[in-house]
Amino acid sequence: MRDLSLHLMDIVQNSIDAKASKISILICADKKSDLLEIEVKDNGIGMDSDFLKEVVNPFTTTRDTRRVGLGIPLLKASAKRASGDLEITSEKLVGTTVKASFKISHIDRLPLGNLAQTMESLIVARPDIEYDLTLDNKKERFIFNSFEIKRRIGEVPLTHFEVLKWIGEYVNDGVKTIFGGILDEILG
């Protein structure tokens, strides 16, 4: 993967496949500790302990269209390359949490990428899922909730062009406000 937003899309797709109706994404960049954390938490069907132990293996997958599952192993490799790690917790019929960490200043840390485009794509694909996006820099927070937007716009669908355009601009503004000056690829 060329950026973290693509990893994020892949992990969220796992949550969608696990029948999640709510997916919470937290991206926290702490300049002081030089740590970037990305967490995806869902209320999907979860994993049993045996599958959870094997999920980082690329030859462990629930898909029947192919025999490999690369999303989690690739995210783990990206985190390890940037002096970070990957942690997954899951409870059957409750949900799963995937948390990846990266050293912000590490030369091998992937750039954040186009988070706004990722959120737009997720909403277009599954507007029926509630997406929470929280961006945090340990001083201030930006919070986006797709169902809050849906509630405010009433009958207009989230997938309407103007709504998606606004969502993209809103998320981009949040990224610049929260991460400008912390993540070196964001010029704020």
Residue-wise pLDDT for 22-38, tens only, equals: 999 999 999 999 999 99
What average pLDDT does this structure show over 152-157?
94
Number of domains composing the chain: 1
Within a domain: residue 129?
yes
Please tell me the predicted confidence (pLDDT) of residue 188.
Answer: 37
User: Alpha helix (H) ranges present in the chain?
Assistant: 4-17, 49-54, 71-81, 115-125, 146-153, 161-179
Q: Do 146 and 171 contact (CB within 8 A), yes or no? A: no
Within a domain: residue 186?
no
Within a domain: residue 188?
no
Domain that holds residue 103: 4-179
Of 61 and 128, which is predicted with more confidence? 128
The span from the CA of 85 to the CA of 5, in Å, is 17
By the 10 Å C-beta count (0-12 exposed, 13-18 middle, 19+ buried), 103 is classed as middle
The string of pLDDT tens digits covering residues 97-145 is 999 999 999 999 999 999 999 999 999 999 999 999 999 999 999 999 9
User: Residue 38: which of 106, 105, 115 has the closest Cα?
Assistant: 115
CATH number for position 175: 3.30.565.10
Please tell me the predicted confidence (pLDDT) of residue 65.
Answer: 47
Within a domain: residue 185?
no
Within a domain: residue 64?
yes
Tell me the pTM.
Answer: 0.90
Q: How confident is the model at residue 68 (pLDDT cuts 50, 70, 90)?
A: very low
The span from the CA of 30 to the CA of 129, in Å, is 29
pLDDT value at 187 more than 60: no
User: Residue 118: which of 23, 11, 33, 5 has the closest Cα?
Assistant: 5
Within a domain: residue 83?
yes
